[in-house]
Structure 1
């Protein structure tokens, strides 16, 4: 079978054209997004004014309706006792009733116009919101594609033998990069970034407290600041562990788990975490160590977040035939029979176990905690 090889220069030229095209598309989408934002702000201001006018017209209409009823009553009285009133009084009664009726009719028409304009603006705002969200998603996706094209693909010096494999490989990398970057960005923004902003604010406050109230009060504020810094440090360490704990490569699974569980126990003083290694303390292939660490990490994190447990027990057993891990908590548990969409965490755990041809079982009852059992076949 003849295998055609790509000219690397030609491939680089194709990649550059793709990058230029993608960059132009990204800029165009960004401009559309910014225009939509401008229109959204303008329509929001107009909507506020229209809503104010609707309320004003309704209030005026209510007053006109009361006046019209009185005018009709007056006109009815004049009509019934026509001979008792002068010609001028009769004419005045007719003209007032007619004018008020015309004013009320115009008021109702104006109210209807304002309401229609309000509804139209609200529909347009919904459409703009959807456009802005889609544009942001597209910009994010295009950024990932550009990073991929400018980085990973350019570094591939080997000739790509199979175009389909290349496509599948590229799509998987893009999906994984996008998900990881979104997750990391969200965690840094919601965690350390917010905490460090608060630290800056508190440091300014401490300086002012020291000047105005003295050292004792400032020392109290410093203690609170120390707690915030400690929490920020924990979040940074947790994010590093989520990315990839460095000790896993250097020391292996068991020591890394011990250290990790000790660390998170320190920052969750209300929950006791126990770890027991019942089997061999030996190194495993890298993919097994990473997968098992992630599975146990996800299980413990879920227990800390949701179970309200006072104790979490982690047991690990490694032998020549398999690896088994048990994560048990004494928390509130949940009804496993209840039909719910699985969380992304549990879905990810199942996928990791299936990739290693293992089994994952979850047993939980309301008020009786949760047990997670992970079993993976192994040949050492």
Structure 2
């Protein structure tokens, strides 16, 4: 056995232990995040109850304050005209004033304690939000490291010039994958998962509405529930298209765009989408079909979601040596030169166009809609 093979075995052993340790740490951090999230939900419920109690205590306190003022006024009157009242009346006036003052004192103390508990819960919730976010970031970072450690970079190394390029290339791919997984996870959690949970709650409510308010109210609730189910279905279909529409591999770019735009129009709350094709409907290289579909998809989604467009027109012209896509909407428009904090939509689109040696042009003004032109030479 050569020295090189022994060194390789040692490195494999060390790397295996390292991966095992990092993976175990990832699981522990994930559990911490999930436990914190569970505790957060409990504290949110408790905070809502505390706030309700504070409102009730303030209402009772105001009433006690009014009655206490009246009782003190009565006691002062009895004391001032002591001879005009019986001993029993004097005693009763004193006891009433004293009793109300004690209740008011207890009420104020209870209000103080509830406010302190509310402030403490709000501080703890802020800390929990920070802990959850840090846990998520750590899990994402550790996943990137694990994927990188488990990846075989030999094939990548053959295509790159040096180790630095290899490392940067590998990390960029892994980070992009993890960010996409994180985004998809959030979309499913915030979209279909929340919608289906709401459907379950509303379905339980329908039975009570039927019993308490009758059939008409129950039918109205069912119609509202159908809207929620339709919205959830739309969100699921959108996520499937975001992952990768199966028709793109089977049918090609043009049929997939037709189907996608038709599906989006059905669930876009009134936005009208039109599609025009010029030139031959031929299959393109996979890299062009995927990139162009993603670019058009991103443009349409931006027009519907952010520009709040009522009409979106998509035109694709395929020539022998080039392809041009134009996406035009009548939305509220924007200033392309203005950079928004945390917004990378246009940046990502430009990078994707550059990967296929294309050009992206954005024409837009506030209140005047947006036109996006994508030009790609076919090689």
CA gap of 1:277–1:12, structure 2 versus 1, over 3 A, is farther
CA gap of 1:370–1:11, structure 2 versus 1, over 3 A, is same
Determine the structure 1 residue equivalent to 2:280: 280
Superposed CA deviations along residues 139-159 of structure 1, whole A, max 9, x for unmatched, are 332134335656x55xx8979
Determine the structure 1 residue equivalent to 2:228: 228
| Separation in structure 1 between the aligned mates of residue 156 and residue 336 of structure 2, nearest angstrom | 50
Deviation at 1:224, TM superposition (A): 1.7
1:326 aligns with 2:326: yes
1:242 aligns with 2:242: yes
1:349 aligns with 2:366: no
1:1-380 correspondence runs (5 A)? 12-26=12-26, 133-146=133-146, 149=149, 153=152, 167-338=167-338, 340=340, 343-379=343-379
Give the count of matched residue pairs.
Answer: 300
Deviation at 1:13, TM superposition (A): 3.2
**Equivalent residues of 2:148, 2:171 under 8 A apart:** no
Deviation at 1:251, TM superposition (A): 0.5
SS of residue in 2 equivalent to 1:363: strand
**Equivalent residues of 2:280, 2:319 under 8 A apart:** yes
Superposed CA deviations along residues 250-277 of structure 1, whole A, max 9, x for unmatched, are 1100000001111111112422111000
Larger RCO, structure (CA 8 Å, separation 6 or more): 1
Determine the structure 1 residue equivalent to 2:63: none
Q: For structure 1, list consecutive stretches of 5 or more residues without a partner in the other structure.
A: 49-121
| Separation in structure 2 between the aligned mates of residue 36 and residue 308 of structure 1, nearest angstrom | 37
Q: For structure 2, list consecutive stretches of 5 or more residues without a partner in the other structure.
A: 51-121
CA gap of 1:31–1:203, structure 2 versus 1, over 3 A, is closer
Superposed CA deviations along residues 134-179 of structure 1, whole A, max 9, x for unmatched, are 44411332134335656x55xx897976755653443123201221
Superposed CA deviations along residues 99-134 of structure 1, whole A, max 9, x for unmatched, are xxxxxxxxxxxxxxxxxxxxxxx9999899767644
| Separation in structure 2 between the aligned mates of residue 274 and residue 328 of structure 1, nearest angstrom | 10
Higher-Rg structure is 1
CA gap of 1:220–1:371, structure 2 versus 1, over 3 A, is same
Deviation at 1:377, TM superposition (A): 0.7
**Equivalent residues of 1:278, 1:318 under 8 A apart:** yes
- Report the TM-score, using the length of structure 1 for normalisation: 0.66
| Separation in structure 2 between the aligned mates of residue 285 and residue 19 of structure 1, nearest angstrom | 38
CA gap of 1:312–1:22, structure 2 versus 1, over 3 A, is same
| Separation in structure 2 between the aligned mates of residue 35 and residue 190 of structure 1, nearest angstrom | 19
**Equivalent residues of 2:312, 2:329 under 8 A apart:** yes
**Equivalent residues of 2:272, 2:311 under 8 A apart:** yes
